[in-house]
Amino acid sequence: MSENPFIHTPDEPGYVVAWKYKYEFKTGRYDEVMTYGEANKRAEQLGEEHPEKAFWPEKAAEPGSANRFFRPEAH
């Protein structure tokens, strides 16, 4: 991983493509884990195919890590 968290190398592993509707309150992520370069290309491709959504590469959650602020039992 690079020193600067805002600079990613194309071969950096562990990214997924995330999305959201531009005019609705729906979001999601694809499960396929790939490198940053692959995720970025896939996000651009999906953006052209689905103009109603915004796509971007996002760091995948580490296996075994949980969001400490989200409690499923509360929802």
pLDDT per residue over 31-68, tens digit each? 999 999 999 999 999 999 999 999 999 998 776 555 55
- The band of 6, judged by pLDDT with boundaries at 50, 70 and 90, is confident
Residue the block writes with tokens 């940053």: 36
Of residues 42, 35, 43, 33, the one with CA closest to residue 12:
35
Which pTM does this prediction carry?
Answer: 0.74
Task: Using alpha carbons only, give the angle 41, 16, 70 rounded to the nearest 5 degrees.
Answer: 150
The better pLDDT of the pair 23, 1 is held by 23
Question: DSSP characters for 27-50?
Answer: EEE----B-HHHHHHHHHHHHHH-
User: Residue 71 above 60 pLDDT?
Assistant: no
